[in-house]
Amino acid sequence: MTTVFTGNAFAHGSTVDPASRNYGCWERWGDDFQNPDMAAEDPMCWQAWQADSTAMWNWNGLYRENVGGDHRTAIPDGQLCSAGRTGGDRYAALDEPGPWHAAPVDNDFTATVHDQARHGADYIRMYVTEQGFDPATQRLAWDDLELVADTGTIPPGEGRSSDGESLNGVSIDIDISAPGRSGHHIVYMIWQASHYDQVFYACSDVTFPEG
């Protein structure tokens, strides 16, 4: 699979398991992104690729600067997955509700955030949508989320080394407990990098067991 990056979004990171929307679209279709079968097999990725393919090539560059910790002010409801349409409309398609590919998880699971540039973190906060939220029909809002994990400080370079073709930094595993959920949900990541006031955001779709 060929890795292509553009602009200044080279070598930062994202949630890779469960895959963020744009990382998952790149992982599944990056070597075949013009395949028309994507429209039927993976329609939300198809609309995202058509809207702006650089959102997937730059899966590790979805961030905002100078947020000052006030995420709610920086990012309006309905634009959480695009980090308030950071970079203009590049990531806007990630906010669209619909049948996004969702990874099956248990109510207790481990999420992995990849720190490709070994920035470290002042914190990584993980949220899961409340039961009753429907990613297929609703845009994500702050009040839809429950905080389920907060790592606190992670020193630069700390994590599991990766020798993957595209993951050449370190991976950070975060244990999550999200009881009372079933069906399709969104896992939302806020990663405050420690090298600068630069914050990475990601929406990952998951499916919890029914019943």
Euclidean distance between CA atoms 35 and 53, whole angstroms:
13
Cα torsion 77, 81, 82, 85 to 10°: value is 0
- The residue that leads in pLDDT, 87 or 10, is 87
Show the 3-state SS of the chain: CCCCCCCCCCCCEEEEECEEHHHHHHHHHCCCCCCCCHHHHCHHHHHHHHHCCHHHHCCCCCEEECCCCCHHHHCCCCCCCCCCCCCCCCCHHHHCCCCCCCEECCCEEEEEEEECCCCCEEEEEEEEECCCCCCCCCCCCHHHEEEEEECCCECCCCCEECCCCCCCCEEEEEEEECCCCCEEEEEEEEEEECCCCEEEEEEEEEEECCC
In a domain, 6, yes or no: no
Q: Quickly state the pLDDT bin for 163 (edges 50, 70, 90).
A: low
* Tens digits of residue pLDDT in 105-119: 999 999 999 999 898
How far CA 178 is from CA of 64, 77, 112, 181, 203, in Å, comes to 27, 22, 16, 7, 16
How many separate domains does the chain show?
1
In a domain, 124, yes or no: yes
Q: 42 is in which domain, residue-wise?
A: 13-208
CA atoms within 13 A on the CB side of 97: 12
Query: Mean of the pLDDT values across residues 159-181?
Result: 88
In a domain, 55, yes or no: yes
- The residue that leads in pLDDT, 195 or 128, is 128
Query: Mean of the pLDDT values across residues 182-202?
Result: 95
In a domain, 2, yes or no: no
First-residue to last-residue Cα distance in the chain: 38
In a domain, 123, yes or no: yes
Residue 54 has pLDDT above 80, yes or no: yes
Query: Mean of the pLDDT values across residues 185-205?
Result: 95
Residue 164 pLDDT: 66
In a domain, 29, yes or no: yes
In a domain, 4, yes or no: no
Given a contact cutoff of 8 angstroms between Cβ atoms, the answer to whether 127 and 145 are in contact is: yes
The CB density around residue 192, as the number of other CB atoms within 10 Å, is: 20
Percentage of residues of the chain with pLDDT beyond 70? 93
Residue 2 has pLDDT above 70, yes or no: no
Query: Mean of the pLDDT values across residues 130-149?
Result: 98
Percentage of residues of the chain with pLDDT beyond 90? 85
What predicted TM-score, i.e. pTM, was given to this entire model? Answer: 0.93
Task: Calculate the average pLDDT of the chain.
Answer: 92
In a domain, 99, yes or no: yes
The CATH code of the domain that includes 39 is 2.70.50.50
| From 74-78, 86-90, 95-99, 116-120, the region with the lowest mean pLDDT | 116-120
Residue 30 has pLDDT above 50, yes or no: yes
Residue 168 pLDDT: 82
